[in-house]
Amino acid sequence: MKLTILGCYSATPRALNNTTSQVLEINNHMFLIDCGEGTQVQLRKHKIKFNRIKHIFISHLHGDHFFGLVGLISTFRLLTRETDLHIYGPKGIKEVVTLQMKLADSWTNYNLIFHELTSDKSEIIFEDEKVIVKTIPLDHRIYTNGFLFKEKEGERKLDINAVEEAQVDLAYYRKLKQGFDVVNEEGTIIKNETVTKAGIKPKSYAFCSDTKYKESIVPIIKNVSVLYHESTFLDKHENIAAKTKHSTAKEAASIAKQAQVGTLLLGHYSTRYDSLNDFKKEAQEVFDNVELTDDGKTFEF
């Protein structure tokens, strides 16, 4: 699982600060999460192949999270893309994209499939054999979702000595890997856990931006390997955070602690602060394993 931060600053793009966009590589997927203005240039800079992006997840329709979307869609068209593109985002996203295509009289040759979100409950929005994606309903000034990306439980590993000793026929190995009990050549039931071990632990990533402090997301993101939680402000500006429905670094850490996540990533920083390290320090007073995102940074988990 690899995460590339294309942009992690709030409000407006600047020469050295890009607004929110991330690429999550998980189980052969390249998921693009949010798409602030200039994301297509950031993708080029980081040499991410446009054609590998098949799913784009937009948290909400504030400009710093989606003003780059229509440009990216348009560039895909100019590059004669043929691969389907799925867009997941709040209701309205289809209208605003198609209006711009209509005004430009520029329709995509590839299939553009919108999955508009309206629910305020967590729901599965993507699923294949290996990965599942769920929404994380957040609480911001407008309708906003975070996204939970989760690998499915992998196959169990055979304890080959135990299997042979139990005289299980080769034909049943697959069932064992899938977690079932089987019957051996002598008709005895072989309990799965006696001949297999847990497979590779599935990884998971939760993206939570933008939101005010919201404890009710804890059950949804419980035990995720990595949590990105916005921390627009420091605790000293808690009142501005509350007013604008954003979080402080301390609040992000509190959510991480309650959800017992592996690693907490901070981001969506207000540019009013001189040093990002203050965010890390503040969060680490509550939760130990904290990392700072920054534009261009990659994380492998």
For residues 81-100, which are near a second copy according to CB under 8 A? 90, 92-93, 95-96, 99-100
The yes or no reply on residue 12 touching a second copy (CB under 8 A) is yes
Classify residue 274 as exposed, middle or buried by CB count within 10 Å of its CB (0-12, 13-18, 19+): exposed
Q: Check if 64 is active-site.
A: yes
The yes or no reply on residue 74 touching a second copy (CB under 8 A) is yes
Question: What is the size of the binding site for a second copy (CB under 8 A)?
Answer: 34
Q: Cβ 12 to a second copy, closest distance in Å?
A: 4
Q: Which is nearer to a second copy, 77 or 150 (CB)?
A: 77
Q: Cβ 226 to a second copy, closest distance in Å?
A: 28
Q: Which is nearer to a second copy, 67 or 205 (CB)?
A: 67
The yes or no reply on residue 104 touching a second copy (CB under 8 A) is yes
> What's the CA gap between 211 and 229, in Å, rounded?
9
The yes or no reply on residue 70 touching a second copy (CB under 8 A) is yes
> What's the CA gap between 186 and 188, in Å, rounded?
6
For residues 28-57, which are near a second copy according to CB under 8 A? 37-38, 40-41, 44-45
> What's the CA gap between 55 and 147, in Å, rounded?
12
For residues 131-170, which are near a second copy according to CB under 8 A? 141-142
Type of residue numbered 158:
L
Q: Which is nearer to a second copy, 46 or 257 (CB)?
A: 46
Q: Which of 34, 64, 210, 295 is catalytic?
A: 64
Q: Where do the DSSP E strands lie in the chain?
A: 2-7, 21-26, 29-33, 53-57, 85-90, 112-117, 124-127, 131-137, 145-151, 157-158, 182-183, 189-190, 196-197, 204-208, 226-230, 263-267, 290-292, 298-300
Length in residues, the chain: 301
Q: Distance of CA 137 to CAs 21, 117, 166, 192, 245, Å?
A: 19, 10, 48, 37, 14
The yes or no reply on residue 13 touching a second copy (CB under 8 A) is yes
Q: Cβ 155 to a second copy, closest distance in Å?
A: 42
Member of 27, 71, 130, 289 binding a second copy (CB under 8 A): 71
SS3 label, residue 121: coil
Task: Summarize as ranges the residues that interact with a second copy (CB under 8 A).
Answer: 11-15, 37-38, 40-41, 44-45, 61-63, 67-68, 70-71, 74-75, 78, 90, 92-93, 95-96, 99-100, 103-106, 141-142
